[in-house]
Amino acid sequence: MITELQAYLKDEFGIDFNDPSLLAEAFTQASYVNEHPKEHLKFYERIEFLGDAVLQLFVSEYIYRRYPELPQGRLTRLRAAMVCEDSFSKFALECHFDQYIRLGHGEELAGARKRPSLLCDIFESFIGALYLDQGRPAVEKFIQRVIFPKLDQGWFDHAVDAKTSLQEFLQRNGDVEIEYHLLHEGGSENEPVFTVSVSANGKQIGEGTGSSKKHAEMAAAQVALQALRQIKK
């Protein structure tokens, strides 16, 4: 299974491991080690400990540089949305890492191969192994392909608010004037409905409604972002 993994990583990501034993360690769960006592195998937990810290720093550094105006609190929220079980387990599935995990029979039958917590661990341990085997540039190249594009695809929009995301999206290639206009105020006194438009350099790019002006602005920004991302594709 580790030989297949090695070939797959080479084909798919251009990653050629120097020390396959690191890769084996990173993809082996304790249950497998226990079932093969004579092979003196190691399981992934120590490498995962390292990989977790590697991801924490590289993601931190990326968003620190990419969002020069974002205050610490928001950086922290964004990092928490990126560096978490939910994200990492999805990345692991997207990379087909689930197919290469070495599990004991009991864990296999219990469905561990698709368990988010295990997938997350394996993603981290893979990063740890890659870091040990090939150093920082290889990890950066890998996460630039697997993690960072998700920012543009809106995976973490809930962590950075839509207005900030829109601003960052539009202003990446120079200054753009973004304005929000209240178009309509309706509903009842208890349930008001605000309608707001957002424009970039005078051209309307989105419209949204909400129970407050702020919510309507967020909705408009979200609509604009989705439209702009569609165009970019």
Residues near a second copy (CB under 8 A) are: 45-46, 48-50, 52-54, 56-57, 60-61, 64, 70-72, 75-76
Other residues' Cβ atoms within 10 Å of the Cβ of residue 199: 16
Q: How far apart are CA 7 and CA 27, in angstroms?
A: 15
Do residues 39 and 117 touch, judged by C-beta distance below 8 A? no
Smallest distance, Å, CB 53 to a second copy? 4
Is position 168 annotated in a ligand binding site? no
- The answer to whether 124 is a known catalytic residue is yes
The helix or strand, by DSSP H or E, that contains position 33, with its residue range, turns out to be helix 30-35
Is position 85 annotated in a ligand binding site? no
Q: Which of 25, 107, 124, 168 is catalytic?
A: 124
Q: How far apart are CA 23 and CA 43, in angstroms?
A: 10
Q: Which of 25, 52, 107, 168 is catalytic?
A: 52
Q: How far apart are CA 172 and CA 168, in angstroms?
A: 6
Smallest distance, Å, CB 77 to a second copy? 11
In 3D space, the residue among 56, 27, 59 whose CA is nearest the CA of residue 155 turns out to be 59
| The two three-digit tokens of residue 51, written as one number | 């990989």
SS3 per residue for 117-168: HHHHHHHHHHHHHHHHHHCHHHHHHHHHHHCCHHHHCCCCCCCCCHHHHHHH
Question: Which residues share a beta bridge with 182?
Answer: 196
Is position 124 annotated in a ligand binding site? yes
Q: Which is nearer to a second copy, 66 or 229 (CB)?
A: 66
Q: Which is nearer to a second copy, 135 or 186 (CB)?
A: 135
Q: Which is nearer to a second copy, 126 or 194 (CB)?
A: 126
- The answer to whether 85 is a known catalytic residue is no
Smallest distance, Å, CB 41 to a second copy? 14
SS3 per residue for 39-66: HCCCCCHHHHHHHHHHHHHHHHHHHHHH
Smallest distance, Å, CB 104 to a second copy? 18
Q: Which is nearer to a second copy, 128 or 208 (CB)?
A: 128
Smallest distance, Å, CB 110 to a second copy? 21
- The residues carrying an active-site annotation are 52, 124
Residues annotated within the binding site for Mg(2+) are 48, 121, 124
Residues annotated within the binding site are 48, 121, 124
